């Protein structure tokens, strides 16, 4: 699959977060920060509407004062782009690295994630927050659903932390294949990867459901997650800003669930709810 690359220059901090949130709504899947104020965004060419993207970026550039450039990036060049900028990440006892990095002998959990074009490298705040939440859980013998799995990183960590099995779902072909590859790379045979959406969640109940997806998808699919969660189970959500927490909380608590834990990072949120 060929991707469109948009290079943004002169934007960082909260303004960059606002812009990337808007670009996500237009179909951009991945963002790579090169240095402070400079980052790139990627969207499959099949989903790229040049007029909508250009109109959006022109308006935002006028308001926020950045410059941008649009170009094509062939599929075979993606790994080279990541290798030039992708750095390993340490979160608690987890060391997340690409195959071309050396392992950390002191790490409790060594994860090898080949990102390709999938979301979930622990560099983004939402993945970081989700991993921190997982590290506080005792998964022994539990079943886990990782919806919108991306690279598969969250499901892989759950298995490393003792989960019995994980069902990982993503509607993107690239993410589906990438998650399968990363599961094999990290030797977690208990992970089943499905190409699909919330409508394709297998029957049965899960002890934990992980969903790091954007606000609109969450609001649409939370009732499905609730029905797939066993009593006493936990729903862990991220992919949205602090300003969106109230509407997310209102929907979930209306179903009889209770907020258990919430953490923020640079205005992004991860929140855990318990099903009573």
pLDDT in tens, 146-156: 999 989 999 99
Mean pLDDT within 220-246? 95
| pLDDT score recorded for residue 131 | 97
| pLDDT score recorded for residue 173 | 83
* pLDDT at residue 81 tops 70: no
Instruction: Return the CATH fold of 117-275.
Output: Rossmann fold (3.40.50)
Residue range(s) occupied by CATH 3.40.50.150 in the chain: 117-275
| pLDDT score recorded for residue 1 | 63
* pLDDT at residue 212 tops 90: yes
**Closest C-alpha among 138, 274, 142 to residue 206:** 142
* pLDDT at residue 78 tops 70: no
**Closest C-alpha among 266, 264, 156, 147 to residue 214:** 147
Which of the pair, 11 or 191, is modelled with greater confidence? 191
Identify the band that residue 209 occupies on the pLDDT scale cut at 50, 70 and 90: very high
Mean pLDDT within 251-273? 95
| pLDDT score recorded for residue 116 | 63
Which architecture characterizes domain 3-83 according to CATH? Answer: 2-Layer Sandwich (3.30)
Mean pLDDT rounded to a whole number for the chain: 89
Give 220-229 pLDDT, tens digit per residue: 999 999 999 9
Residue range(s) occupied by CATH 3.30.70.260 in the chain: 3-83
| pLDDT score recorded for residue 3 | 82
Give 93-140 pLDDT, tens digit per residue: 999 998 888 999 999 999 999 766 556 677 788 899 999 999 999 999
| pLDDT score recorded for residue 2 | 77
Identify the band that residue 18 occupies on the pLDDT scale cut at 50, 70 and 90: confident
* pLDDT at residue 25 tops 90: no
Mean pLDDT within 52-77? 87
* pLDDT at residue 211 tops 60: yes
Share of the chain above pLDDT 90, in %: 63
């Amino acid at each position: 699959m060929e991707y469109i690359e948009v290079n943004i220059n002169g934007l960082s901090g909260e303004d960059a977060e606002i812009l990337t949130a808007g670009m996500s709504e237009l179909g951009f899947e991945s963002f790579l920060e090169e240095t402070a104020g400079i980052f790139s965004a990627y969207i499959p060419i099949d989903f790229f509407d040049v007029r909508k993207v250009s109109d959006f970026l022109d308006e935002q550039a006028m308001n926020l004062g950045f410059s941008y450039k649009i170009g094509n990036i062939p599929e075979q060049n993606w790994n080279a782009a990541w290798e030039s900028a992708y750095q390993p990440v340490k979160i608690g006892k987890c060391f997340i690295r690409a195959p071309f990095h050396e392992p950390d002998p002191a790490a409790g959990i060594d994860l090898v994630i080949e990102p390709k074009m999938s979301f979930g490298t622990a560099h983004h705040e939402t993945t970081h927050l989700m991993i921190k939440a997982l590290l506080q859980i005792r998964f022994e013998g539990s079943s886990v659903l990782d919806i919108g799995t991306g690279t598969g990183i969250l499901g892989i960590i759950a298995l490393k932390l003792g989960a019995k099995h994980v069902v990982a779902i993503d509607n993107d072909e690239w993410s589906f294949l990438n998650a399968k590859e990363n599961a094999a790379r990290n030797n977690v045979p208990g992970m089943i990867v499905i190409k699909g959406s919330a409508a394709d969640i297998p029957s049965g109940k899960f002890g934990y459901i992980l969903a790091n997806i954007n606000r609109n998808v969450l609001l649409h699919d939370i009732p499905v997650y609730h029905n797939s969660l066993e009593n006493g189970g936990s729903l862990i959500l991220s992919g949205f800003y602090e300003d969106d927490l109230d509407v997310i909380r209102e929907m979930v608590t209306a179903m009889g669930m209770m907020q258990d834990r919430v953490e923020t990072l640079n205005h992004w949120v991860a929140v855990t709810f318990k099903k009573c």
